[in-house]
Chain A
Amino acid sequence: MVNKKTIFRETRAYPVVFMLLITIVFVGILAVLYQLTLHRVQTYRETQLKSMVLRTFDLPENDVEANFTKFISLREEADLTYYEATKDSVLLGFCFPISGSGLWSTIQALLAVTPDFKNIIDIEIVSQNETPGLGGRITESWFKAQFKGKLLVENHLIQQFTLIPENDQIKGFEINQITGATASSKAVVDMIYKNVLKYSKEMRAEL
């Protein structure tokens, strides 16, 4: 018995067989684990998105599923997908999933606007992969808060925001950029402009 085993171990075939076997075992374990956690990961992502949509309208986030069903409805028309928020029979506004090219990655966000498209209600960054500590700061509350309630329209036209240094006073259609992260800041501003332009047209808003 011992002889047979030693001889097999030294054959040419052994490394290949060994490699195959061990690959199957480990990949098998991983596949199982992946399937087990898949549902959890997907549920988390959905809950996150829903909670963010609620957040843009300042709606309560505590019981995400219940509140989402109560206040938000998903609208899917032709090539438009967006969320509509209603509270006490009043239309609060629309929330659009938007995306744009950041410096290093695609930035995905949720932009909520008033029904007449005249003001931004709020913005939430869903995902980004900009430089941590620099461009990554677009997720910081002070940066996002600048867009809260911001006026979008002048003379019946959507205005593009201009970027000014971080600590300067803003007036009108200006936004404080993040020091050292001009590109990422600009990416957010451009992304908002392009998408508001697109959606206001598609939904035939009267500006």
Chain B
Amino acid sequence: MTKKQIFMTSAFTENSIWRQILGICSALAVTNLMLNSLVMGLGVIFTLALSGFTISLLRNYIPKRIRMMVQTLIIASYVIIVDLVLKAYFPQISTALGPYVGLIITNCIIMGRAEAFAGKNPPLAAMIDGIGAGVGYTFVLLVISFVRELFGFGTLFGIPILGDWWTKWSIMVMAPSAFFMLAMLIWIVNTKSAKRG
């Protein structure tokens, strides 16, 4: 596969969220604000790219029995790097994302890509696949948070869009709305791809 093909597949055709239903946890948790989604997305892209690269580099040396533990260690290390960098250079965002940064580790997407792609492909391809998956993930997060932030707070990226006349939909701030938004997104995508069929 060409590099572009790898990217497009992992980002859109085989999108982690709407196609593989992975990485839902954080997709629901941080989508109350667009800024949080963007930062989370960037963190995931970073972790996916580097862990994919590293795991692919080591793929012929990792013993089968401890495969999962080694992958988890590598992924966790990159996540801690993200966490340390956020705490040092973007403290407010670090506080807002709270424990969800740490939860990138158990984000099924990362483990999923490591198992499905990085373990069997050369490093550069694995890195591109990782970036693609991350971009696809970020895209979904931004779409959901666009709706949630706009109707829940009247703002986008903190910039007020809807004036004071808008009664904020508290439900958008709370948990259930994320489930509904994601379900609708999946519905739209599935219906569209079925039509293209």
Residues of A within 8 A of B (CB): 9, 14-15, 18-19, 22-23, 26-27, 29-30, 33-34, 37, 40-41, 44, 48, 127, 129, 132-134, 180
Residues of B within 8 A of A29 (CB): 77, 81
8 further A-B contacts with Cβ under 8 Å, apart from A33-B84, A40-B89, are A19-B70, A22-B73, A29-B77, A37-B87, A40-B88, A41-B87, A133-B170, A133-B173
B31-88 contacts to A, CB under 8 A, are: 32, 58, 61-63, 65-66, 69-70, 73-74, 77, 80-81, 84-85, 87-88
Min C-beta distance of B72 to chain A, whole Å: 11
A37 & B85 in contact (Cβ 8 Å cutoff): yes
Contact at A23–B63, with CB atoms within 8 Å? no
Across the interface, name the chain B residue whose C-beta is closest to A21.
Answer: B61
B residues in contact with A15, CB < 8 Å: 63, 65-66
Contacts of B91 in A (CB 8 A): 41, 44, 48
How many residues on the B side are at the interface (Cβ–Cβ under 8 A)?
A: 27
Note all chain B residues with C-beta closer than 8 A to A33: 81, 84
The binding surface of chain B is classed by DSSP as helix
| B189: interface (CB < 8 Å) | no
Is the CB–CB distance between B61 and A18 below 8 Å? yes
Inter-chain contact B63/A37, CB cutoff 8 Å: no
Residues of A within 8 A of B74 (CB): 22, 26
The proximity string for B residues 135-172 relative to A, scoring 1 for CB distances below 8 Å and 0 otherwise, is 00000000000000000100000000000000000100
Contact with A along B164-195 (1 / 0, CB 8 A): 00000010011000000000000000000000
Report B104 CB to chain A, min CB distance, Å.
Answer: 15
Between-chain CB contacts (< 8 Å), 9 pairs: A18-B61, A19-B69, A26-B73, A30-B77, A30-B81, A33-B81, A41-B91, A127-B95, A134-B173
Could you tell me the distance in whole angstroms from the C-beta of A133 to the nearest C-beta in chain B?
4
| Chain B residues closer than 8 Å to A41, beta-carbon distance | 87-88, 91
Q: Complex: how many Å from CA A105 to CA B143?
A: 31
Q: Measured between alpha carbons, how far is A37 from B88 in the docked complex, in Å?
A: 6
B174 closest partner in A (C-beta): A133
The answer for the CA separation of A180 and B107 in the assembled complex, in Å, is: 31
The chain A residue sitting closest to B173, CB to CB, is A133
Asked, given contacts A19-B70, A23-B73, A133-B32, whether A30 binds B80 with beta carbons under 8 Å apart, the answer is yes
Instruction: Please report which residues of chain B, range 89-141, place their CB below 8 angstroms from some CB of chain A when the two chains form the complex.
Output: 89, 91, 95-96, 98
Q: List, in ascending order, chain B residues with CB within 8 A of A127's CB.
A: 95
Q: Are A37 and B84 in contact (CB under 8 A)?
A: yes
Indicate whether A18 sits within 8 Å of B62 (C-beta atoms), given known contacts A23-B73, A41-B88. yes
- From A48, which residue of chain B is reached at the shortest CB distance? B91
